[in-house]
Amino acid sequence: MPQQVIPSGAKPKLAVYKFSSCDGCQLSLLNLEDQLLDLVGAVEVAYFLEARKRELPPPYDIALVEGSISTPEEAERIHKVRHDSKFLVAIGACATSGGIQALRNWADVAEYNRLVYASPQYIRTLDTATPVASHVFVDFELRGCPVNAMQLLELLSAVLVGRKPNIPTHSVCIECKRQGLPCVLVSEGKPCLGPITQAGCGALCPACARPCYGCFGPMEQPNIDSLGARFSEWRYSPREMKRMLRLFNGYLEPFKQASDHYERLEQKQ
């Protein structure tokens, strides 16, 4: 984490940007109710349209970018954001993987447009929804749909003091075991994506007695093939496997490659 990001003496300037998204990750910042007033004391909120009208001119020391790039206008604007920002963090599944709207990347967007809009000629959109890192250099990526507010706070604190943020890249299983939750996969035979999904949520789904659906995206080097073999023993079809992988992080490797593999198997059947 580059120490030179924050100029000494001055309050670091924070900018928060939204692209194609639901606002949930920005909201996670506002959901730090106990720390919010301290946070706005520690940084200068220079650009954050969800929270304030006033804008300070760039450059910004830290930029949080929510959302994927899905329109021609956004594909231009993200370069301006990069230009204006010293340390750019992509926050959430849309910004780090393309998000749920990246399902269009496997579809005919013209057909989608005709189906959803009465006058498709009014709509300007790209054929793909892609992560920020497909367009500009990104200094850090924070996963999750939505991001975990405590991980966001950890990230901001780390950048402010110039250390590496402590964001684990191991699987949800580790979090789940630490909480002593019964394994929904082994003991109940539910199709849990926990073994291949990055930690960060706190194993919320197993705690709610349901299988993980992968909203933090793939862990480091997941063994998707092995999990898929187990699921197919339980008679989950390649089509169902594909569907499970193509959700909020479906366009992020290696979920993308694995879902394409199951699609080929589905088509052979």
Partner 1 sequence: MSDSNKNSERTIRVGALARVEGEGALHLSMRNGRVEQVRLEIYEPPRFYEAFLRGRDFREVPDITARICGICPVAYQMGSCHALEKAMGVFDQIDPPIRTLRNLLYCGEWIESHILHMFMLHLPDFLGYESVITMAADHGPVVKTALKLKKLGNEILAAVAGRAVHPVGVCVGGFYKAMEPARAQALLPEVRSALDEMCNLTLFLAEKIEYPDFERSYEFVALCPENEYPMNLGRIRSNRGLNVDQEEFGQAIEERHVPHSTALHSIIKGRGAYMVGPLARLNLNHEKLHPRAAELLPKVCAAVKRDLPWRNNFLSLPARALETVHALAPAADILERYQPPPRPFVPITPRAGSGGHGTEAPRGICWHHYRTNADGTIASAGIIPPTSQNQMTIEEDLWQLAEQITDLADDQACQRCEHLIRNYDPCISCSVHFLKFSRSFDGEPAPAR
Phi, psi of 247 (to 5 degrees): -130, -120
CB of 242 to partner 1, least distance (A): 11
DSSP 149-176: HHHHHHHHHHHHHT-------SBHHHHH
Judged by beta carbon, residue 100 or residue 159, the one nearer partner 1 is 100
Site string for partner 1, 127-166 (x = CB under 8 A): --x---------------xx--------------------
CA distance 57 to 24: 26
Of 33-72, which residues contact partner 1 (CB under 8 A)? 33-34, 36-37, 40, 45, 49-55, 70-71
CB contact at 8 A, 175 and 148: no
Interface with partner 1, residue 237, by CB under 8 A: no
Judged by beta carbon, residue 23 or residue 162, the one nearer partner 1 is 23
> Is the bond leading into 59 cis (omega within 30 degrees of zero)?
yes
Judged by beta carbon, residue 8 or residue 119, the one nearer partner 1 is 119
Contact residue for partner 1 among 112, 139, 167, 181 (CB under 8 A): 112
For residue 53, what is the DSSP state?
S
Interface with partner 1, residue 30, by CB under 8 A: yes
Q: To 5 degrees, how large is the angle CA 177–CA 180–CA 186?
A: 65
Interface with partner 1, residue 235, by CB under 8 A: no
CA distance 130 to 186: 35
Contact residue for partner 1 among 42, 56, 123, 229 (CB under 8 A): 123
Interface with partner 1, residue 195, by CB under 8 A: no
216-246 in b/e form (b: 16+ CB < 10 A) is bbbbeebebeebbeebeeeebebeebbbbbb
Interface with partner 1, residue 220, by CB under 8 A: no
CB of 55 to partner 1, least distance (A): 7
Contact residue for partner 1 among 161, 186, 208, 229 (CB under 8 A): 208
The residue with tokens 């998204």 is 21
Size of the site for partner 1 (CB under 8 A): 64
Contact residue for partner 1 among 13, 28, 62, 258 (CB under 8 A): 28
CB contact at 8 A, 194 and 211: yes
Q: In which element (H, E) is residue 262 found?
A: helix 255-268
* Residues at the site binding partner 1, with contacts judged by CB under 8 A: 18-28, 30-31, 33-34, 36-37, 40, 45, 49-55, 70-71, 73-74, 99-101, 103-104, 107, 109, 111-113, 115-119, 122-123, 125, 129, 145-146, 201, 204-205, 207-210, 213, 215, 240, 243, 247-248
